[in-house]
Structure 1
C-alpha cells in the first residue's frame, strides 16, 4: 500500500492507496474536491462535514443517474443479449453481485465512501 498526501477543500489528508491505483485515487480526490468547492462557493453551507455529506450525496446521485441510464440501455437490448440482473441486497451489503452497479462502479463507490469516512474522521461516519 502506498500513502499519498492530497488536498481536499484546502485541507491535507494522508490517504492509503493500493500500488498502481494512484491515478484513480487522484481522480477521485479531484472529483470530491471539485464537488465540495462548488458547494462551499455557493455560499449556503460553511460546515466542512455538511459540505462533505452534500458532495457525497451529489456524487452518489450522479452514479445513480448513470446506473439508471445503463439499465434503460440494457432494457432496450434484445432479451437474449441482455445480462441477467439481480435484485439489490439490503442496505450496507458489500457483495458486488447483489448490486445493479457493475463491479468496477460498485468498488469505486465503496472506495469513495471509505475515503469520505476517513476524511471525516472523528466527525462521524457517512453510512
Structure 2
C-alpha cells in the first residue's frame, strides 16, 4: 500500500492508498478540502470538527442525490461555494441541528 501526504484545510495528513488509486484519492481529498474551505469561508463556523461534520453531511447528501437521480446534477456556480448559511436554508438547518446536538455536552461523540 502506498502512502500519500495531502493537505486538507491547511493540515497535513498521511493517507494509505492502494496501488493505482492515487488519482481517486487525490480527487476525494480535493472534494473534502473544497467542501471544508467553503464552510469555513462562509464565516459562521470556525471549529474544525464542526466544519468536518458539515462537509461530510453535505457530501453524503450529494452522493445520496446521485444514487436516486438518473442524470448527474450540474455543478453549482462558483459563487455558490462561498454562500453563507444565511443564504442557504439547507446549510442553515444543518448548522442549527449541529448547534442543538453540541449544546447538550459540547461533543459529537
- For the criterion TM > 0.5, the same-fold answer is yes
Asked whether 1:34 is paired with 2:34, we answer yes
Partner of 1:102: none
Which stretches in structure 2 are left out of the alignment for 5+ residues?
Answer: 72-106
Unpaired stretches in structure 1, ≥5 consecutive residues: 74-122
Shift of 1:34: 0.1
Q: Secondary structure at the match of 1:19?
A: coil
Which deviations, in whole Å up to 9, do the C-alpha atoms of 1:14-52 show, x marking residues without a partner? 000001000000000000000000000001110101100
Q: 1:1-127, aligned counterparts within 5 Å?
A: 1-70=1-70
Q: Which has the higher contact order (CA 8 A, sep 6+)?
A: 2
Q: Scaled by the length of structure 1, what TM-score is found?
A: 0.55
Runs of 4+ in 1 over 4 A off after TM superposition: none
**RMSD of aligned residue pairs (Cα, Å):** 1.8
**Could you report, residue by residue, the CA deviation over 1:57-91 in whole angstroms, capped at 9, with x for unpaired residues?**
00001011111103xx7xxxxxxxxxxxxxxxxxx
Q: Please tell me whether Structure 1 or Structure 2 has the larger radius of gyration of its CA atoms.
A: 1
How many residues are treated as equivalent by the alignment?
74
